[in-house]
Homo-oligomer: A and B are copies of this chain.
């Protein structure tokens, strides 16, 4: 098992993600240091170097703000935030950094310009709502992952084969949510989740398919709930 990341390195990884998300661009070593309450950049330099060697972080030497968390790095964070929910945020000694985070000021979402609303028959408010539609900014950096859908089990909910569903890891969904369920035989499906009569019902969104009933919780493992859907056309 190649996993066994030192606690502080995971904190750093987390901080990179957080700061990148907040500012729209990756942090510098100094910003990371003050964010984590450290007095010296060199400490961060060592940690990030270690993370780079493990290929959890992409980092061009000598290049300002070139840090990015790799695919593996993000997945590792997902897993950790899931299983280890009692873990404290970060910030080792001083709970709040003494001076305010300079980087924390100008948070602004990155996204696709949201031009307006298109109604069937009604006029379009062309370019009147200058907002952003944020997609991966909301999900990518924090806990979520994507799955490609194969099959028609949720077609009546507008989830088609070939779509991508965004999954937020959550072992205990509420009734009616669409979940990724891992069954006892090792198969995984996308179904609507209902807890009832002491058991569970997994309801497909396809009237030609039958619901699945699971009585024992140990036979059912919920990987997460669907929080978004994306389709390339």
Binding site for B on A (CB under 8 A): 23-26, 28, 58, 60, 64-66, 68, 71-72, 74-75, 78, 106, 108, 110-124, 126-127, 130-137, 139-140, 144-153, 155, 158-160, 163-167, 178, 180, 182, 186-190, 204, 209, 223, 226-233
Contacts and interface: CB of A to CB of B under 8 A. Distances in A.
Contacts of A113: 71, 74-75, 78, 140, 145-146
Given A25-B68, A120-B152, A180-B118, A111 B136 contact: yes
Given A25-B26, A122-B187, A124-B187, 17 more contacts: A25-B66, A64-B65, A68-B110, A74-B113, A75-B113, A111-B140, A112-B136, A112-B146, A116-B148, A117-B148, A118-B180, A119-B150, A120-B189, A135-B135, A155-B158, A178-B233, A227-B233
What number of copies of this chain does the assembly contain? 2
B148 A66 contact: no
B120 A150 contact: yes
B140 A58 contact: no
A55 to B, nearest CB: 11
A190 to B, nearest CB: 6
A1 to B, nearest CB: 13
A164 B25 contact: no
A122 B150 contact: yes
Contacts of A148: 114, 116-118
Contacts of A117: 147-150
B121 A187 contact: yes
A188 B167 CA distance: 33
A131 B233 contact: no
Contacts of A166: 112
Contact of A146 (B115, B126, B155, B209): B115
A209 B151 CA distance: 28
